[in-house]
Amino acid sequence: MTSLAPMVLMATVAGAAIPAGALLARIENLGPAWLEKEFRHSVIAFGGGALLSAVALVLVPESVNALSTAWIALAMISGGLLFGLLDAALAKAKGSASQLIAMLADFIPEAMALGAMFAAGGNGAMLLALLIALQNLPEGFNAFREMTATEQPAHFHRKRTAQGMSAMPVLLMFVLLVPLGPLAGLAGHYWLASHPAVLGFIMLFASGGILYLVFQDIAPQARLEKHWAPSFGAVLGFLFGVMGHIYLG
């Protein structure tokens, strides 16, 4: 029980990075128009690189030993298929939430793993929580910019998304996502720590969905004609995950 309070606190802080990233996305006129545009695309690419690092270094390695080959394949394929169907449904409804979906697909299983790690003794849990928070920051930035379509500066309460929502309700929604971190952590702490196969399936299912969204939606958004910094941002995002994995190890 002594590990429960710090686990809840760390998962909450990691979740709070989502609205924090959205608040950063509210800053307009970072510099010349070309620099601001390149910066936004670089952040999108950084978030994509961080998501790939989460799949390659956290979600997959922490789950493959708990499942047979058949279950591993089923989890990843079903995750990719379900996220593909969801992406198609959003496109048909002219929605724009791929960044948000990818962020949640990363955040929730990692928070579960955080809770399970605390239940098992807490080795490296603080660094894992830091890694989750620093992933959520650019992902919150990207998701907010995608959902609010902030190409043109405007007053905060008058910005509109493609669905007719203003920026304030989107920010409020991001704030309401924060408790998902401690709730997922509690699930991992009390239940999934004793069911590693179930936790592994969830993490691999999320990995399949993340890989689909990164290559279907996030990577195409990151590319910018005659600019090369955004692609390097993906390298930095993945490197960030590698460094976190080294410290966790």
Distances in Å between the Cα of 148 and the Cα atoms of 134, 166, 169, 204, 222 are 22, 7, 10, 30, 17
Q: Residue 186's Cα: distance from chain center in Å?
A: 19
Does the pLDDT value for residue 100 go beyond 90?
no
Q: What is the mean pLDDT of residues 152-161?
A: 43
Token representation of residue 165: 């929502």
Q: What is the pLDDT of residues 39-57, one digit of tens each?
A: 777 888 888 888 888 888 8
At residue 153 the predicted structure's pLDDT band, cuts being 50, 70 and 90, is: very low
Check whether 110 has a pLDDT greater than 90: no
- Residue 203's pLDDT is what? 87
Name the DSSP letter for residue 74. H
Determine the Cα–Cα distance for residues 34 and 147; give it in Å rounded to an integer: 21
Has residue 3 got a pLDDT over 70?
A: no
**How confident is the model over 229-248, as pLDDT tens digits?**
778 888 988 898 888 778 76
Listing DSSP states for 96-128 in one string gives --HHHHHHHHHHHHHHHHHHHHHHTT-TTHHHH
Report the chain's mean pLDDT, rounded to a whole number: 80
